[in-house]
Structure 1
Amino acid sequence: MESTLAAPDALSLGLASPRPVPAVPEAPAEDLPLFAYLKAIRTNAVSGWPRRAYEDLVIERRLMGRRSLTLSDPAGIRRVLMDNQANYVRTPASVRILRPMLGDGLLISEGASWRHQRRTLSPAFTPRATGELVPHIADAVAAALREIEAQARSGPVDLFPLLHRMALEIAGRTMFSVGMERHGEELRALMVAYSGRLGRPHLLDMLLPLRVPAPLDLPRALFRRRWVRFLDRIIAARAAETAPRAERDLLDLMGAARDPETGEGFPPEQLRDQVATMLLAGHETTAVALLWACTLLARDPESQERAAAEARAADADGDPRGALASRLTFTRAVIDETLRLYPPAFAIVRAAAGPDTLAGHAISAGDILLMAPWVIHRHRKLWRDPDAFDPGRFLPGAEPPARYAYLPFGVGPRVCIGASFALAEATLALAGLLARFRIAMPDGAPPMPAAVVTTQPDRAPLFRLTLRAA
């Protein structure tokens, strides 16, 4: 059954050519054998879902004696993430992988601690508060574009590390009102060190309860010490700044935040965990989303030129807040469609704490529920032409996606608190790139998605960036 809430076709958008279909790993015809499936989880999760995952709303398999369901049914997703979310908890593997980086911050805290953190942080992430940070974003984008232009003059550019530096610069300026010259390289080195081995799920991470040490728990704990020392240094450096600032930054907003019920703010260690969450979730996912947006637009010149014209008109307006609010509608639609095709968080995993019923399936305590935005966003029963790149799906006036069929930031009480900030950041950064450069890719196979921690490219693609006429 095809959704009636799908986007208009290309002709209705004034685009003459069919919509391009990005290259992705071919889905296996059948369920992978156990060890091939475990390898896919460690090396590239998107290669592990069989064809039926994109056609059936629930698929089931056994994994080391445990029952696992891949759930794409909208009503079932609502049940897990909203209506009965207290019954579905994080798995030991996800806690083991996330806690060394994020501590007990908002993303992985539970119960009363989570409710306190969410209430306290919410005022710092309203659209109005995000608007206060737009000048920081615009300044960081302008600085990054100068570096990109300098490299583009020498030939094809490996854009991914430059986008990482741009996202880091945005993180530094919005979080601390300063650039990341002093801390950026160390931050990147720590992240690469963690994701290369410690951030990959090991079989025993999945099988052992949290009370039983897994083989990687000790090296993760040692990493945690280094990571905490690093975060404490940059927070202390920020606290030592005495120069007055024209605009408040995110650390100001979080430091001043108070729980409306208790009046309590964050103690230093909890503020540090919030900083870690915002640094990692913000900078990594933004860089990945921008890389995929550039890849898609390089293969779709019509959409690129439409977005570039919009970005140049908004740039001439001279007001980044106004541009974001009313002038960058197509650029924002490109970001939304990029997040559909390449969701940075490609899977949401929960374990059932008790019995339930989902989409007609009886659930028992210990069952694993996997809601994969990668699969849901490409599902044949939820989207029309799901594999095609079509920003028109998200333009004003288009039918919105079906509820619970579009989850780039999750859904329900634990939806990403920084979603509006992330969208503002990515939209302004992409607009800046397109206003200055025409983006193309030298001939050759495009990069393929490799999903381990986020949905990254399997190799560093080269781009040819041509300055647009002033």
Structure 2
Amino acid sequence: MNIASVRRPVIPPTPPRAPDNMSFFGRLAVIRQNMIATWGQRAYEEEIIQGRFFLHKSLILNQPDAIRHVLLSNYENYTRTPAGIRMLRPVLGEGLLLAEGHAWTHQRRTLAPAFTPRATANLVPHMTAVLDETIAKLDARRNEPVDLREIMQRMTLEIAGRTMFSFGMDRHGPTLRNFVMEYGERLGRPYFLDMVLPVSWPTPMDRARARFRTRWTEFVAMLIAERRAAGKKDGAPPSDLFDLMDKARDPETGKGFSDEQLVDEVATMILAGHETTATALFWALYLLALDPDAQEEVASETHGEHLDGIADIDRQKFTRAVIEETMRLYPPAFLIARAARDKDNVAGAGVSKGDIIMIAPWLLHRHEKLWDQPNAFIPKRFMSKEPPDRFAYLPFGAGPRVCVGAPFAQAESVLALARLIGAFRVELADAMPVIPCGVVTTQPDHSPMFRITRR
């Protein structure tokens, strides 16, 4: 994809690339701190890289046709790796992200109507109400340093709470944030035994994760009970995601979710929704602070209007391009790892049962054969008449297991960025580079301080 740029584009900082001859144990030592820093220059230039992962072969795929084969044509042959299951099951249980086979098919069919563009349009008023409150709070902090990463996390958590349950997260938000931080800082990181032992063999960290899961599911069940109680009172909440999910039925079997299944689905939607959207919005604000011209273009696109509907969101073409370019440079899910169930052939490479297939959006989105100026921030590449190959750009995955909440996340991100930049001019308060780290999601190595001023 060739992009003509009138001015020199911003190139945000990244971690140093690893030596291509880094040893296996050297990579293993870096993985827990920053998976992104384990890849060398070859990974950004070659289409397929073969290696070893203990007793099995590993393949890194940067070829769209090969990725299409794994994620679409023969997706049933590829399942999550033992390490991935270990790290996600305690917080997501058997929800949509981890379910396999018939269980996944049932969940996907049942949930799909709750995440259509029409259903998302009905939830936009919840988003705009939270945005109005966030802008009012930021207005009171003009001209002083603010931590926009924390503010985005609180804002998207509040949106998740209101769109899911129709109530604010004032009482429960701190507890939920503590769960997220506790898990991400220790239990959600890969350990050596996580990667070498079968899932059926518990590790010491698995026991700690099991204790966490008990507390976590009790908390989510309490939120569900509170929402159900509110629905039985006069002035019951309007239709929200929980209402849609609670009443949802598989169109083929007529079955809905059990209470245990509903806990896992709600946990999946709250965690996957608020954390990844907060991360994307933080990086978008950081990039616009580095690129004042792009920031002014986002601000001018709103024309000073109060955006409050899907039609308003759809008109924000450049703002949407900024979000898409942000997720290219900083994909919230930086790695998709799969284990082969059986033999296969991927782009001429033989695959045996148990081999590890890695599709890394971080690499794919910066690959030198797929993108012009791959490390530069150029939003207008997504306004080109030549869109990127569907399997070269994977912010929400691809194939049958593409993220069901993508329309919701895109609407929320575009609306939030347009409203925030339409209200405030954003600048970095210091010049310290912000380095992306691949730990659960693509996180900053520190939370920089910003200055905001009213437009």
Normalised to the residue count of structure 2, the TM-score between the two structures is: 0.97
Aligned to 1:267: 258
Question: Which string of whole-angstrom CA distances, capped at 9 and with x for unpartnered residues, describes residues 326-382 of structure 1?
Answer: x21111110000000000000000011111111111111111000000000000111
Pick the aligned partner of 2:204 from 215, 218, 237.
215
The correspondence of residues 5-16 of structure 1 with structure 2, limited to 5 A, is 6=1, 8-11=3-6
Q: Which moved more, 1:339-348 or 1:58-67?
A: 58-67
2:14 aligned with 1:24: yes
The gaps in structure 1 that reach 5 residues or longer are 1-5, 12-16
Aligned to 2:388: 401
2:13 aligned counterpart, secondary structure? coil
Aligned to 1:61: 51
Aligned to 1:159: 148
Q: Which moved more, 1:231-240 or 1:406-415?
A: 231-240
Q: Which amino acid in the other structure matches residue 167 of structure 1?
A: T
Q: Does the aligned pair in 1 maintain the 2:44–2:364 contact within 8 Å?
A: yes
The correspondence of residues 305-454 of structure 1 with structure 2, limited to 5 A, is 305-315=296-306, 319-325=308-314, 327-395=315-383, 397-454=384-441
1:351 aligned counterpart, secondary structure? strand
Q: Does the aligned pair in 2 maintain the 1:7–1:394 contact within 8 Å?
A: no
1:350 aligned counterpart, secondary structure? strand
Cα drift, residue 446 of structure 1 = 2.3
* Aligned-pair Cα RMSD in Å: 1.3
Q: Does the aligned pair in 1 maintain the 2:430–2:449 contact within 8 Å?
A: no
Q: How many angstroms apart in 1 are the aligned matches of 2:352 and 2:328?
A: 31
Question: Which string of whole-angstrom CA distances, capped at 9 and with x for unpartnered residues, describes residues 208-227 of structure 1?
Answer: 11111122111100000100
Aligned to 1:71: 61
Question: Which string of whole-angstrom CA distances, capped at 9 and with x for unpartnered residues, describes residues 86-117 of structure 1?
Answer: 11111111111111001110000001110000
The gaps in structure 2 that reach 5 residues or longer are none
Q: Which amino acid in the other structure matches residue 281 of structure 2?
A: L
Cα drift, residue 310 of structure 1 = 1.1
Question: Which string of whole-angstrom CA distances, capped at 9 and with x for unpartnered residues, describes residues 363-403 of structure 1?
Answer: 111110000000000001111111110110112x5310023
- Aligned pair count reads 453
Q: Which amino acid in the other structure matches residue 418 of structure 1?
A: G
Aligned to 1:176: 165
Pick the aligned partner of 1:277 from 268, 279, 287.
268
Aligned to 1:197: 186
Normalised to the residue count of structure 1, the TM-score between the two structures is: 0.94
Cα drift, residue 246 of structure 1 = 7.2
Q: Which amino acid in the other structure matches residue 69 of structure 1?
A: L
Q: Does the aligned pair in 2 maintain the 1:7–1:398 contact within 8 Å?
A: no
Q: Which amino acid in the other structure matches residue 282 of structure 1?
A: G
Q: Does the aligned pair in 2 maintain the 1:57–1:72 contact within 8 Å?
A: yes
2:91 aligned with 1:92: no
Pick the aligned partner of 1:304 from 295, 312, 333.
295
Q: Does the aligned pair in 2 maintain the 1:298–1:440 contact within 8 Å?
A: yes
Aligned to 2:279: 288
Q: How many angstroms apart in 1 are the aligned matches of 2:300 and 2:34?
A: 36
Aligned to 1:3: none
Q: Which amino acid in the other structure matches residue 356 of structure 1?
A: D
